[in-house]
Amino acid sequence: MASAQVFQMLQFCSPWNLAAIGFCLVIWYWWKRPCDAKFPPGPRGVPLLGILPFLGKAPAVTLKKWSLEKYGPVMSIRMGRTDVVVLNTFEAIHQALVKQSASYSDRVSMELFRTTGNDGLGARKYDEDYKVQKHFGLKFLRETGLGKRRLDNLLNEEGDQFMEYLSSFGDKPVDLKKYLYWLTSNVISQVALGKRHDYGDPDYQELLGIVSNLISQPGDAPKLALISMYGVLGKIPPFSGALKRFDQRQLTMLSYMQKYIDQHKRDFDPDNVTDFIDAFLYEAKFKQSENSSFTDKQLQAYCRDFFAAGTETSSSTLSWCIAFLLNFPEYYEIIEKEINDTIGTAGRPSMSERNDMPMTCAFIQEVMRNRTLAPLAMLHATTHATKLMGYVIPKGTQVIPNLDGAHMDPVDWPNPDVFNPRRHIDENGKFVKSNKIIPFSVGARFCIGESLARAEIYIFLVKLLQRFHIKSSKQFPPPVNEGIISATLSIKECEVILTEKDGK
């Protein structure tokens, strides 16, 4: 009856009145929030696009600014037609991802990973298969693949090979960003594929090209970053073209990984498990059921995740470290002296002597705080309705941990824009490791390669400073206040001149 009355009323409305009513309904729908007043506050942007036109070139910085100025540590934004919660402080991230880990660890289906769907680890839904796969990966890295002694030996031996390669350039300018990428990729290759490559090996150059093209295409990177937040953009030119090219690069990567998987299957020896592929095949053959998630597709995507995450994070952090050393020579001098006094120019660096290297560790930690490699991490999603810091977060809500916002929070880090390693050294001159610096995220979705990455960054930086005097090849050192935002925040360039120290 009521609907009939409404219909009769609408019959007497002019087209203009109907248009006005329709407009009001659209605006009401646009401004309506889930849970009404209990949902976190935040900007709505404009219909269809949401806050996209207002994010700027550094979305994490913009979101933190809105958080500080108006909306608080837990806020919401409208992305297209979707309401997304953003966590802008360490406390908010910790409350959600650690204290309510099971509630905030799901993933949404992402256009960027449509070629592999739920395979791999990074984009996998938070289900029992995910827990099995993550446990397997952690167990391999901790117990089989990278025990403490093997890790130190592997990194020192690869580091020595790398330093010899760099020495061949003499005093010519070296694109250190490029070659550090080669170095860290070779470490992942040994861990995942059981193969070390010579730096001039054509097969290795093919692998490097595939991995680099996957995540570091300058032309497509900004578009892909936006697609990761606004999946619908992947259907609209020019974003659709960038996504198709990314799909093809992923397929090339997966095909390359399958080549190694097939080789491992042919040579498989259950009594000689030496790398990740071997360990995965052993698990699939002897420990898991036929209907498990231990498939070739899962292994392809797992290896992709190893290379994409493991290569880029370590090499980019090392590049930023070199750039900051050249921009802040006072720390360069202190760290160089610290290395000479503790290890000498010929000693083998190890994670065990870090307590005697407070400025080196503080410097690395401050670089990680100042230049967050994954500023907005990956999208999380809630597995069910939860409460967070006074707000109600419905089931299936997408959640962005703003890691850069946490690292640049003036409450935890006074004068956050100032690069100051001394903030990580106590009154006794000891390094203070901070649990509030979380470049590898926290909770159930933390990066399983964190220990490997931290060891790479420390050992390779020390070996570089042991072997070479480093200076910029240009009038000014590489800029540290700007970078390329794609899958990670990478430095624009790091061209240097490496001069071997006496006795080498």
Please tell me the predicted confidence (pLDDT) of residue 233: 83
What share of the chain has pLDDT > 70, as a percent?
89
Burial of 43 (0-12, 13-18, 19+ CB in 10 A): middle
Torsion of CA 203, 209, 211, 213, to 10 degrees: -160
Burial of 10 (0-12, 13-18, 19+ CB in 10 A): exposed
User: What radius of gyration, in Å, describes the C-alpha atoms of the chain?
Assistant: 25
Q: For 65-101, how does the pLDDT look when each residue is reduced to its tens digit (9 = 90+)?
A: 999 999 999 999 998 888 999 999 999 999 999 999 9
Q: For 274-285, how does the pLDDT look when each residue is reduced to its tens digit (9 = 90+)?
A: 899 999 999 999
CA distances to 26, 44, 183, 394 from 29, in Å: 5, 11, 52, 18
**Token pair in block for residue 290:** 């036929």
87 alpha carbon, distance to own chain's centre: 16
CB 300 within 8 A of CB 116: yes
- Measure the CA–CA gap between 83 and 104, rounded to whole angstroms: 15
Burial of 165 (0-12, 13-18, 19+ CB in 10 A): middle
- Measure the CA–CA gap between 374 and 313, rounded to whole angstroms: 9
Please tell me the predicted confidence (pLDDT) of residue 230: 75
- Measure the CA–CA gap between 173 and 185, rounded to whole angstroms: 22
Q: Which residue, among 89, 100, 161, has the nearest Cα to 403 in the 3D structure?
A: 89
- Measure the CA–CA gap between 3 and 410, rounded to whole angstroms: 55
**Token pair in block for residue 133:** 């796969």
**Token pair in block for residue 503:** 């006795």
CA distances to 171, 227, 323 from 474, in Å: 13, 36, 12
Please tell me the predicted confidence (pLDDT) of residue 62: 96
pTM: 0.91
- Measure the CA–CA gap between 462 and 223, rounded to whole angstroms: 36
DSSP readout, 447-466?
-TTHHHHHHHHHHHHHHHHH
φ, ψ at 242 (rounded to 5°): -65, -40
Q: For 102-148, how does the pLDDT look when each residue is reduced to its tens digit (9 = 90+)?
A: 999 999 888 888 888 889 999 999 999 999 999 999 999 887 656 66
Instruction: List, in order, residues 6 or more apart from 431 with CB less than 8 Å away.
Output: 354, 355, 357, 358, 359, 361, 362, 365, 424, 425
Question: DSSP 3-state assignment of 345?
Answer: coil
- Measure the CA–CA gap between 104 and 60, rounded to whole angstroms: 20
CB 107 within 8 A of CB 379: yes
Would you say domain 44-500 falls under CATH 2.40.37.10? no
Place of tokens 């390359």: 256
- Measure the CA–CA gap between 359 and 431, rounded to whole angstroms: 7
Residues of the chain with pLDDT under 50: 1, 10, 18, 23, 25, 28
Q: Which residue, among 202, 259, 230, 214, has the nearest Cα to 82 in the 3D structure?
A: 230
Place of tokens 């409305």: 13
Please state whether beta strands 173-175 and 495-500 pair in parallel, antiparallel, or not at all (unpaired).
antiparallel
Q: Which long-range contacts (CB under 8 A, 24 or more apart) does 165-173 make?
A: 165/199, 166/467, 166/468, 166/498, 167/467, 167/498, 167/500, 167/504, 169/498, 171/497, 171/498, 171/499, 172/497, 173/473, 173/495, 173/496, 173/497
Please tell me the predicted confidence (pLDDT) of residue 18: 46
Average pLDDT, the chain: 89
Please tell me the predicted confidence (pLDDT) of residue 383: 96
Angle at 468 between CA 335 and CA 181, to 5 degrees: 95
- Measure the CA–CA gap between 436 and 194, rounded to whole angstroms: 35
Please tell me the predicted confidence (pLDDT) of residue 273: 92
